[in-house]
Amino acid sequence: MKRIGIDAIALAVPEGYVELADLAHARSVSPGKFVDGLGVERMAVARAHEDPVALGANAARRLFAMSGADTSRIGLCVVGTETAVDHSKPIAAYLHGLLALPTACRVFEAKHACFGGTAGLLNAVDWIASGSARGRQALVVCTDVARYAIGSAGEPTQGAGAVALLVSENPRLVELEVGVTGSYARDVHDFWRPLHSKEAVVDGHYSVQCYLDALTGAYEAWRHACGTDYSEPIARRCYHVPYGKMAKKAHRHVMALEGKGEAEADASYVEEVGTSLRLPAQIGNVYTGSLYLALASLLEAEASRIEGKRVALFSYGSGCTAEFFAGRVASGAGAFSRALRLAEPLEGRRRYTIPEYEAIRRADADADRRPIESANFGAGTVAFLGVEGERRVY
Ligand code: HMG
């Protein structure tokens, strides 16, 4: 039986963020509501040059640089996103060029709201398990800019960033339980991004209920798929994190399905979920990458302590679909996570004032039509420069 899973992870985040306490003051809301009520401290804010292609390319470049992996071994490149830059040309095609991946490579974009990255990951795992990979590896990049209307209830749950995953045999971080997943799907209008708008439309409280219903369905299906392996203990749980409090609600929900009360759920929450929420609290919702940002956060904080232990993963995409699955932290993952310096991209970020953030949002409206600008974005950084003859230039 092949051992297949996540071999390496890397992040890319925009260079600036908004402090949620500042946003709360500007919107005449108690900071406690955003920081404690939602469980978010900062939200990353993407400027025009930090589009989903640039963020995705920067995460992937970092992945190869930090892990020592070789781009010539990539035979599958999938980008999960719900912030497409084109109806036809996938972000994966841009990344294929920017990373100089082999021409003998299957390349496409996957969309189902925040589930797109998981769709890429699980396809990559099956591609390897089936034998189609023939020793090659898969690159899965989750990249998004989360946008809600200024002043709306969703505004404090924005964010932006990319998570790149290398999927391979004999993974150095997390070996996944191949073929043992629980799926759930239902056609709902909880959250969507109409073609005419860059901002999401959301029925916020209904979306929370849809998430929890999907969690029930996926969890029950996963328990069934596990059979007798179901009783093996789970040491840590990573949930899709639109905001930290949602993961807490999710954990209480799963524990209730296990017949445990709120007090018992809250007692296990700190140990089983807590460290996976540290990086999401500093970045906000990164949509497709959110679950894998939580996993990176967990590994960054305590990979050494949980080597050999089982970790459960729950991915939710509005609209909606969900999957519950599990894996085991690889032996040596502690030292390798440290070498990957997972949290380094968050260092030295700039704190935007609220007027600066609002100006960035106004500029965003025309960003996809702006003419080419030459600017110095730092050596080795991919940036969106503008459009020339309807072609996006990086
Ligand atoms: P809201 O209605 O303004 O907030 O927006 P609220 O009144 O529900 O308050 C939020 C929490 O803060 C509550 O806690 C309050 O009690 C608490 P809860 O009852 O939930 O435990 N609170 C305070 N706490 C401390 N001090 C205070 C204070 N005041 C209040 N002073 C909502 C909340 C999430 C609806 C909104 O932000 C929103 O619409 N966000 C976007 C939608 C979203 O993130 N949905 C999550 C599930 S769907 C999903 O995850 C998919 C998604 O990622 C997209 C995709 O799949 O592509 C979004």
- Atom in ligand 1 nearest the alpha carbon of residue 319: 56
Q: For residue 55, what pLDDT is reported?
A: 98
Q: Is 114 a catalytic residue?
A: yes
Ligand 1 binding site (Cβ under 6 Å of any ligand atom): 30, 32-33, 36-38, 82, 113-114, 153-154, 157, 190-191, 202, 204-205, 207-208, 211, 240, 242-243, 245-246, 285, 287, 316-318
What are φ and ψ of residue 75, in 5° steps? -115, -5
Domain housing 290: 4-393
Q: Is 205 a catalytic residue?
A: no
Ligand 1: residue whose CA is nearest its atom 41: 154
Q: For residue 41, what pLDDT is reported?
A: 98
Q: What is the pLDDT of residues 112-152, one digit of tens each?
A: 999 999 999 999 999 999 999 999 999 999 999 999 999 99
Q: Is 82 a catalytic residue?
A: yes
Residues in the chain where the model's pLDDT stays below 70: none
| Spatial separation of the C-alpha atoms in residues 257 and 268, rounded to whole Å | 15
Other beta carbons less than 10 A from residue 256's beta carbon: 15
ipTM summary value: 0.99
Q: For residue 57, what pLDDT is reported?
A: 98
* CATH number of residue 93's parent domain: 3.40.47.10
What are φ and ψ of residue 117, in 5° steps? -70, -40
Indicate the number of domains in the chain.
1
Q: For residue 221, what pLDDT is reported?
A: 98
Q: What is the CA radius of gyration of the chain?
A: 20
| Spatial separation of the C-alpha atoms in residues 298 and 33, rounded to whole Å | 25
| Spatial separation of the C-alpha atoms in residues 104 and 121, rounded to whole Å | 19
- Atom in ligand 1 nearest the alpha carbon of residue 249: 21
Q: For residue 377, what pLDDT is reported?
A: 82
Q: How far is the CA of 360 from the centre of ligand 1 (A)?
A: 24
| Spatial separation of the C-alpha atoms in residues 251 and 262, rounded to whole Å | 9
Per the rule left: phi > 0, alpha: psi between -120 and 50, beta: everything else, 332 is left
Q: For residue 251, what pLDDT is reported?
A: 98
DSSP string for 71-91: GGGEEEEEEE-SS-S-SSS-H
Answer whether 77's CB lies under 8 Å from 251's CB: no
Q: For residue 262, what pLDDT is reported?
A: 94
Q: How far is the CA of 290 from the centre of ligand 1 (A)?
A: 16
Q: What is the pLDDT of residues 53-100, one digit of tens each?
A: 999 999 999 999 999 999 999 999 999 999 999 999 999 999 999 999
Residues pairing with 142 in the sheet: 80, 163
